[in-house]
Amino acid sequence: MTIPILHHFWASPFAYKTRMAMALADLPWVSVEIPRIPPKPLLMPLTAGYRRTPVLQLGADIYCDTQNIALLIDELGTADRLFPNQSKERALIFSEWVDQTLFPLAVRIVITTALDEAPKAFIQDRGDLYFGPNWSEDALRAELPGVIAQLNASLMRLEATIRADEYALGGPVPTYADIAIAYLCWFLRGRWSQGAECLASYPQLSRIEAAMTSLTEAMGPDEVTTIDGTAALDQAKRSEPTSPVGIPVDSPFELGQRVSVRPFVDSSESPVTGHLRYLDHSRISIDSEHPQVGWVAVHFPISGYQINALP
C-alpha cells in the first residue's frame, strides 16, 4: 500500500486531530512539514490552491479537510477503529459541531490572548482567515468575555452528556467523536494561558483528552518518518489518481464541468477550481493540473463547502 503523506505543522490543532485519527485506526503515515502561514509553494501545486492544514496525500490523490480525511483513514486503517459500532454518522455530526461551533470560539480566545505576543504576520493571516474582512484587534478584545462565556456554555453542556466510565457517544471504546473533544481541549490547554484552569471544570472532557492524547505518544516529530515537500511532489508526479470517477447520486452538477469549491465561511481564502471528477453526498473530487505534479485529484467534503458551477 502507498503510505499516506500528512502535510501539516506540529502546532496545528486540526493536524493533531488527524494524527490522533491515524493513531486510533493504526494507519502508518509519513510527515511533510508545511509553513504555518502562506506562501506554501510545495503544497499549492497539490491542492489546486487550498491552503488549510492538514492535507493527506495518497499518490496523486489529495484529501483536504479533516472530516474528509477521516473517511479516508476509515477506509485505509484497521476496520472499525475510528467509527466502531456503526458510529460513523453520529461521530461525524459530533465532530462537525465541535469544528463549527466550539473551535471558532476557541480560536478567538487563543488569538485574542496572543495579540501582544504572536508575530504580527501570523495574527493578520489568521484574523483574515477566521474573522472575516472587517475584524479588528479592539473588537476581539471587547468581545473576549462574551466569547469565553459562550465556550463555557457549550463545554458545560457537552460535559453533562458524558458518563464517568464511557466515551463521548456512550460506548466503552473511543470513536472519532472523542478525537474531536481531544483536539479542542489540547488546543485550549496548550495555547491559552487559562486553558488548564478552564478545563479543570470539565473532568469528563479532560479524561477523554488524556486518553486520546496517550494514543499519539509515540508519534512526535522525533518518532515519525519525515520527507521533504519536493519528495511528496515527485510522488504525485510519478502517480496517477486512483480514486473513483462519476456522479452516483442525483446532482445539479455534471461530470467534467468546471467548478469552484471553498469553505463556506467568511474568510480571506480564494476558492479552488477544477473539473468535476466525482461527487456523492459526502465528497467532491476535482481534477487539477500543475506543471510540478501533472494531474492530481483533489478531494473535499460536501458538508461545510460551497460548490459553484463556473462558465
Kindly list the residues in this chain that would bind ligand GSH in the complex (CB under 6 A).
12-14, 51-53, 65-67, 99, 129
Residue type, 234: D
Residue 65 or 178: which CB sits closer to ligand GSH? 65
| Residue nearest ligand GSH by beta-carbon distance | 52
- Closest approach of ligand GSH to the CB of residue 70, in Å: 9
Residue 52 or 90: which CB sits closer to ligand GSH? 52
Residue 19 or 51: which CB sits closer to ligand GSH? 51
Residue 50 or 202: which CB sits closer to ligand GSH? 50
Residue 68 or 206: which CB sits closer to ligand GSH? 68
Residue 166 or 269: which CB sits closer to ligand GSH? 269
- List of residues 6+ apart from 146 with CB closer than 8 A: none
Q: For the chain, what is the HEC assignment?
A: CCCCEEEECCCCHHHHHHHHHHHHCCCCCEEEECCCCCCCCCCHHHHCCCCCCCEEEECCEEEECHHHHHHHHHHHCCCCCCCCCCCHHHHHHHHHHHHHHHHHHHHHHHHHCCCCCCCHHHHHHHHHHHHCCCCCHHHHHHHHHHHHHHHHHHHHHHHHCCCCCCCCCCCCCCCHHHHHHHHHHHHHHHHCCCHHHHHCCCHHHHHHHHHHHHHCCCCCCCCCCECCHHHHHHHHHHCCCCCCCECCCCCCCCCCCEEEEEECCCCCCCCEEEEEEEECCCEEEEEEEECCCEEEEEEEECCCEEEEECC
Residue 18 or 206: which CB sits closer to ligand GSH? 18
- Closest approach of ligand GSH to the CB of residue 37, in Å: 6
Which of 38, 44, 154, 58 lies closest to 99 in space, CA to CA? 154
